[in-house]
Each structure stands twice: as C-alpha cells, then as structure tokens.
Amino acid sequence: MNNFVVTIGREFGSGGREIGEKLAERLGFNFYNDRLLSDVSHKTGIDKSLFEDADEKQKEASWYMMAMNVLNAFGKDKSVDELPSSEQLFLEQSKFIEELAENENCVVVGRCSNYLLKNKPNALHVFIFADEDTKIRRIMDRQELSEKDAKKHMQKIEKERKEYYEYYTGKKYGNFQDYDLCISSSKCRIEEIAAIIERLVRNRIISEE
C-alpha cells in the first residue's frame, strides 16, 4: 500500500506533541514537529529562524484566497518568490508536508497538516483536546510557571494557533468534522491515547492491504 500519515492537531497543553511522538515510536514512523522546520529550511535554503518566527502564528490580514489562486494559476512546482515572505514560508512548508506524505510513513503535528492532506486516502487525522485545568497543570509542570502565568501563556498560544489555522485554511479551528478522531487527554494517559491511535492505524493499514 501507499505511505500512511497521521496528522495531529492539538490544543496547547493537551499533550498532543507527546502523543504524536509516542505514536511514531510505537508505529516505527518518522515524527515531524520542530524537526519539520529544520528539514524544510535545509531543503529550501531559507533560514530556519524565519520558519520559527512564523511557526503557527498569524499577524497579518487574511491572504488565503490570493495565495491559493497563485498556486492554482502557476502549479505547485512554480516559484512563489513573488509572494510576501510569510506566504512563501507557509507555501514552502505546505509543499514539504505534501512531499512527506507521498514518500514516507510519518506522524505530523500541527502546521495545518490535516487540511493540507485532507484528500490523501491513507491518512488518519486526529485532534487532541483537554479541559482547562488539565492543560494549565501540564503547562505549569512542563515550563515551571505559576498557575496565573501558565493560563496566560496558554491563552496566548491558543489564540495564535487559532488565527494561524483559520487564516491559512479558511476553516474553523478544532472543528471535529475536519478530523477522523477527536480525543480528550484529560482522563487518559499519553501512552493510552497513543496505543488507541496505533490500533486504529494498524487496522487501517491491514484493511488496505
């Protein structure tokens, strides 16, 4: 069968990155989170710091339709050098994710990957969420912040992710209809959730053989 991809959208503090990493280990898939920025930087020759500065953040007015029109007019392999830098960064990253999906088994966290790969048949799109108390406690432990600072940081990152996702996809952030599986990490351990997703992926792979 063709390569299989799992995309993971997540609320900040829900443990989505850790779940994705555990899942990749269990499946023997390549894992892309921060590594994706390094790899796309190496491929394009664009400084990694530019991708990091723009990573799942959105600060400009919506340009989504204009950017898609450019892609439709010139094709995915056409240079996007004439687009403003933020647009170019997103489109280069998007092309890289599409290439990953064609060439290897992988788990991709964030970066609108569920939307970019929505038409790929061998893919499972997952969204991880949690209640506020769970997210705040996890952020406090991971980043050694007070409860007040953890909540403030969570709200900031979530706002950036929501704006980024909606800006580049034209879709509502966290809409369950755009995912195959939405699961709460509030009452399940990271390992348990990874095991559940692994079972679904293996069943899908078997059914496609």
Question: How much is the pLDDT for 58?
Answer: 58
Task: Give residue-wise pLDDT tens across range 144-173.
Answer: 999 999 999 999 999 999 999 998 899 999
Strand partners, 180: none
**Confidence check: pLDDT of 60 > 80:** no
Pairing of strands 5-10, 106-109: parallel
Q: What integer best gives the mean pLDDT of the chain?
A: 86
| Pairwise pLDDT comparison (93 vs 67), residue with the higher score | 93
**Confidence check: pLDDT of 14 > 60:** yes
Question: How much is the pLDDT for 57?
Answer: 73
**Confidence check: pLDDT of 54 > 80:** no
Q: Which domain holds residue 28?
A: 5-208
Mean pLDDT calculated for residue range 20-30? 97
Domain with residue 138: its CATH number is 3.40.50.300
Sheet strand arrangement including 5-10:
30-32, 106-109, 5-10, 123-129, 181-184
Contact 48, 37 (CB under 8 A): yes
Task: Give residue-wise pLDDT tens across range 91-131.
Answer: 888 999 999 999 999 999 999 999 999 999 999 999 999 99
Residue 51: φ, ψ to 5°:
-65, -40
Mean pLDDT calculated for residue range 37-55? 77
Helix (H, G, I), strand (E, B) or coil at 60: coil
**Confidence check: pLDDT of 61 > 50:** no
- Calculate what percentage of the chain has a pLDDT beyond 90: 65
Question: How much is the pLDDT for 1?
Answer: 58
Question: How much is the pLDDT for 34?
Answer: 81
- Calculate what percentage of the chain has a pLDDT beyond 70: 85
- Of 187, 155, 161, give the one whose Cα is nearest residue 173: 161
Q: Amino acid identity, residue 37?
A: L
Count of structural domains within the chain:
1
- In three-state form (DSSP H/G/I as H, E/B as E, the rest C), the secondary structure along 134-181 is HHHHHHHHHHCCCHHHHHHHHHHHHHHHHHHHHHHHCCCCCCHHHCCE
Token pair of 167 as six digits: 């800006």
Residue 126: φ, ψ to 5°:
-120, 145
Taking the mean position of all CA atoms in its chain, how far away is CA 30?
14
- Of 167, 53, 187, 35, give the one whose Cα is nearest residue 109: 35
Question: How much is the pLDDT for 43?
Answer: 83
